[in-house]
Amino acid sequence: MENREFKGVWIDKNIWLHPELTLIEKALLAEIDSFTGANKAFFKSNETIQTEYKISRPTISKSFKKLEKLGLIKIRFDGRVRKITYQAASKTFKGSTKENDMQTVNNLHAASKNVTGINTNEIKDKITSKKQEVILLPWDSETFQKIWNEWKKDRKERQIKSYTVRGEKAALHQLYNDTNGNEQHAIEAIGQAIANQWRGIFPREKKTRATNPSKEQLTNYLKNGDL
């Protein structure tokens, strides 16, 4: 990654006024924007961001997913390197102001008066969309994300009821506990569940292979009574 002459981070008003972003997400997006001019990309890893921002990796992963979902960034993987770019088309966002809010209210009143048979609540529902909760994965690698999506796709194709948000969180938490936080073990368990057409994921217990004591250990045992 090329060096830059760092003079601070200037936060674009469209980022600062965005009503759906937290301060951390605004700062992170401004940081990405400062790197991605002239067709360049943002290469910092989650580990580096964690060190510089002093925030947890789950928070970083959640922020990236939210920014990508809002169309503010584009994430690509080039081999083992992640490239993130700020989407210029999203810079046209206009922040919420009292004038804009008042105009929205006036439009609602006008619509309810001029259109027959339309419930005002229905109009409000079209303007205000419910935010979808972001699911945090216990591992943020691309490999785990792909195998987890394959698992959900496989369940759907076999007409198994889709996870609720709470159900998916519980399944991921259970998988993490059953594999003792071992990502590779979890990936293997999901692959096994798909291959066997199971309705759930049942990680097999990792067995440790017994080893015979060495000659030195045997001699020590005969002398001292322990290996």
One domain for residues 82 and 20: yes
One domain for residues 116 and 48: no
Looking at the structure of the chain, the number of domains it has is 3
Q: Which residues share a beta bridge with 75?
A: 84
Q: Which residues share a beta bridge with 86?
A: 73
219 assigned to some structural domain? no
One domain for residues 87 and 104: no
- For tokens 């937290």, what's the residue? 22
21/36: higher pLDDT: 21
134 assigned to some structural domain? no
**Residue 205 pLDDT:** 78
Residues in the chain: 227
119 assigned to some structural domain? yes
Domain boundary among 67, 92, 117: 92
Q: Which pLDDT tens digit goes with each residue over 202-227? A: 998 766 555 666 767 777 766 666 65
One domain for residues 72 and 108: no
One domain for residues 118 and 177: no
Taking the alpha carbons of 156, 159, 165, 166 in that order, is the dihedral positive or negative?
A: negative
Q: Which pLDDT tens digit goes with each residue over 133-160? A: 678 888 989 999 999 999 999 999 999 9
182 assigned to some structural domain? yes
Split at pLDDT 50, 70, 90, the class of 75 is confident
One domain for residues 43 and 72: yes
**Over residues 112-140, mean pLDDT:** 61
5 assigned to some structural domain? no
- Compute CA distances 141 → 33, 46, 111, 114, whole Å: 23, 11, 48, 52
8 assigned to some structural domain? no
225 assigned to some structural domain? no
Residues 28 and 16: their CA atoms lie apart, in Å, by 11
CB neighbourhood size of 148 (10 A): 21
3-state SS, one letter per residue, for 142-174: HHHHHHHHHHHHHHHHCCCCCCCHHHHHHHHHH
**Residue 204 pLDDT:** 85
Residues 113 and 186: their CA atoms lie apart, in Å, by 57
Residues 150 and 18: their CA atoms lie apart, in Å, by 33
One domain for residues 115 and 174: no
202 assigned to some structural domain? no
Give Cβ neighbours of residue 104 (< 8 Å, ≥ 6 apart): 127
46/40: higher pLDDT: 46
Residues 5 and 111: their CA atoms lie apart, in Å, by 52
CATH number of the domain that residue 26 is part of:
1.10.10.10
pLDDT beyond 60 at 193: yes
Which of these ranges, 23-32, 99-108, 152-161, has the smallest mean pLDDT? 99-108
19/39: higher pLDDT: 19
94/13: higher pLDDT: 13
Structural domain for 168, as ranges: 142-195
**Over residues 72-89, mean pLDDT:** 78
**Residue 130 pLDDT:** 47
The residue type at 5: E
**Over residues 71-82, mean pLDDT:** 80
**Residue 129 pLDDT:** 46
One domain for residues 118 and 165: no
pLDDT beyond 80 at 169: yes
One domain for residues 111 and 176: no
One domain for residues 27 and 50: yes
Token duo for residue 81: 């390197």
Split at pLDDT 50, 70, 90, the class of 201 is very high
3-state SS, one letter per residue, for 24-67: HHHHHHHHHHHHCCCCCCECCCHHHHHHHHCCCHHHHHHHHHHH
